[in-house]
A and B are shown apart, each in its own frame.
Chain A
């Protein structure tokens, strides 16, 4: 069974902290994505990666960075967390052959910034 695993279901951090959200997939997928989900706004793409060490900005990259050192792992970094980054964060992956279509999602990390 395919699996996208996000390291934390719930996370509480303070304003100004550096925050790391980790995502691992076991399907040998080339593409990996980070989205944030907010009520009334749907899912918005923050960054995606189509290969190790490759990254592309999505719709809302400001305040975030990413790291993809290994194929199976894609990390989202909040350099200096702010309260407006309180949200649900979802990681996804897919094979290169389906284009940038997010196929398999993790269960999300609900992040609260105090």
Chain B
């Protein structure tokens, strides 16, 4: 199956810093999703992107659908301790029977 490459694998940042992570593939996607998973819980959908070049915000989070349709980016501004968790991207691959493929995750640690 398809695998999306997420980077970085893990991040350790100071509270207040901005965070950037991305998801890339060699294939073309027509929808991108970003999720956050807290320890011991299921993923929560943060942002959905449906068009190439689209930029969407959800509070301090901003995500972009890459122009090439092969990547997506998530930025978190002014990080706070509750941003800790694992962030996953997921993409809908064209002509795959409408299945979403998930990235391997970026683990974020925020140091107060």
A45 in contact with B43 (CB, 8 Å): no
A45 in contact with B99 (CB, 8 Å): yes
0/1 string, A29-55, CB within 8 A of B gives 1: 000000100001111110010000000
Name A103's contact: one of B45, B99, B104, B105 (CB within 8 Å). B45
Which residues from B are CB-within-8-Å of A100?
92, 98-100
B residues with a Cβ closer than 8 A to A are 1, 3-4, 6, 31, 33, 40-45, 48, 88, 90, 92, 97-105
- Size bin of chain A's contact surface: 20 to 34
Which residues from B are CB-within-8-Å of A92?
42
A42 in contact with B3 (CB, 8 Å): yes
B44 in contact with A42 (CB, 8 Å): no
* C-alpha gap A4/B41 in the complex (Å): 11
22 A–B pairs (Cβ distance < 8 Å), ordered by A: A41-B104, A42-B4, A42-B103, A42-B105, A43-B43, A43-B102, A44-B102, A45-B99, A45-B100, A59-B99, A59-B101, A90-B43, A92-B42, A99-B31, A100-B100, A101-B48, A101-B92, A101-B100, A102-B45, A104-B45, A107-B42, A108-B42
Question: What's the dominant secondary structure at chain B's contact region?
Answer: strand
A44 in contact with B1 (CB, 8 Å): yes
* C-alpha gap A44/B1 in the complex (Å): 9
Given A42-B103, A107-B42, A60–B4 Cβ distance below 8 Å? Answer: no
A17 at the interface (CB under 8 A from B): no
